[in-house]
Amino acid sequence: MGLNCGIVGLPNVGKSTIFSALSSAPAEAANYPFCTIEPNVGMVTVPDARLERIVQLIPTRKVIPAIVEFVDIAGLVAGASKGEGLGNRFLASIREVGALIHVVRCFEDDDIVHVSNKIDPASDIETIHIELALADYETVDKRYQKLSKTSRADKEAAKLAAVVLPILDRLKDALGQGKLARSLKLTSEEEKLIADLHLITIKPMIFVCNVDEQSIEQDNDYVKTVKQIAEKEDAQTVVICGKIEAEIAALDTLEERQEFLEAVGLAESGLHRLIRSGYSALGLRTFFTAGEDEDRAWTFHAGDKAPQAAGVIHSDFERGFIKAEVYHCEDLFRYGSEQKVREAGKFRIEGKEYEVQDGDILHFRFNV
């Protein structure tokens, strides 16, 4: 299981620049709309200082951090859901992602054209919201028509329709007005009933304000506007200077990157904050496995119990789960070795009902 995010936004807001910095694998980027034609996919390691400390205390042959996948979609424009530009062609590419990263232009630059010839974050956000909502409306309407017909076929279909059609009615009403599906705040049971629709606008969204170097430490008016919108939508906001992130990504070593960050007055890169926001938005956490062969970070959902966490490693681990040997990474840092963790009584054996915690170090016992 990994963090999986789709990057959306208007053309020329800095999506491809930020994607390139994220993945350190240059995406096609240029000063004209629709430059990104095929969706770019980048795999990025998740920064986690805890894994680095674990490696220092439990030396190993191999270190494997958690992974996040980013998908950069062509810039959307008004009418994309109806085939304008190239956006509609790629909306399907983000139906499978876990979260959306909406890059919003929050900087002035006469040399970089804006598709609307003005910098207006509120209008830009509304344009993207409407296009995503209309794309979802089409999906919901098709299901509504199909379910309405099949409900007349037999009792089971009618029973399902009686439950699902009212949900689809509410969705059609909201989406038709350009509102996002998640604004309806469906219950978990309602979401399960329409999960196979893979609605774009039901996904968590993180707004990324792409700013100039002068606005990285103090929010400009554009950023303040985005944050106000995000607060109303219960969404997260991350402020990033795409130009600075690109310069950091171009440096060869970790030491050089850290020196650059210090020189520009940043404690960490904006991309690190973005990845953490993605984890938070999706309710994801990290557990570790550690030993002489491999120290590794694994991603799981908050609330998962031990067998489910074991299944992240391999389905056989979940199917044949017996017990889990558990201690927390903070105990390792405090006592300095696994042996001393045991001596301090912090090493535990947990069963199937144990709810795995962020930062746990686990060893699973299983039998298949």
pLDDT band at 76 (very low <50, low <70, confident <90, very high): low
pLDDT band at 24 (very low <50, low <70, confident <90, very high): low
Q: How does pLDDT run across 211-231, given as a tens digit for each residue? A: 998 888 888 999 999 999 999
Q: For residue 37, what pLDDT is reported?
A: 43
β-pair type (205-210, 99-105): parallel
**What does the pLDDT average to over 67-81?**
66
DSSP 17: H
Largest pairwise CA distance in the chain: 69
For the ranges 24-28, 99-103, 250-254, the one whose mean pLDDT is highest: 99-103
Lowest mean pLDDT among 17-31, 154-168, 304-318, 326-340: 17-31
| Domain 3-281: top CATH class | alpha beta
- Whether the predicted pLDDT of 355 surpasses 50: yes
- Whether the predicted pLDDT of 87 surpasses 50: no
CA distance 268 to 260: 10
Domain range annotation of the chain: 3-281, 303-366
Mean pLDDT of the chain: 86
87 vs 348 pLDDT, higher one: 348
60 vs 73 pLDDT, higher one: 60
pLDDT band at 97 (very low <50, low <70, confident <90, very high): confident
CA distance 362 to 306: 9
Q: For residue 89, what pLDDT is reported?
A: 52
- Whether the predicted pLDDT of 131 surpasses 50: yes
Q: For residue 25, what pLDDT is reported?
A: 44
CA distance 161 to 273: 43
Lowest mean pLDDT among 63-72, 80-89, 245-254: 80-89
pLDDT band at 273 (very low <50, low <70, confident <90, very high): confident
3-state class (DSSP) for residue 290: coil
Q: How does pLDDT run across 134-182, given as a tens digit for each residue? A: 889 999 999 999 998 887 777 887 888 899 999 999 999 999 998 999 9
Contact call for residues 40 and 27 (beta carbons, < 8 A): yes
Q: For residue 40, what pLDDT is reported?
A: 72
Residue 248's contacts (CB-CB under 8 Å, 6 or more residues apart) are 21, 257, 260, 261, 269
Q: pTM for the full model?
A: 0.82
- Whether the predicted pLDDT of 333 surpasses 70: yes
**Domain range 303-366, CATH architecture:** Roll (3.10)
3-state class (DSSP) for residue 79: coil
Q: How does pLDDT run across 25-60, given as a tens digit for each residue? A: 443 343 333 444 456 777 778 888 999 999 999 999
- Whether the predicted pLDDT of 84 surpasses 60: no
Of the candidates 21, 206, 17, the residue with the CA atom closest to the CA atom of residue 112: 17
Q: Which structure tokens are listed for 40? A: 């770019």
CA distance 167 to 161: 10
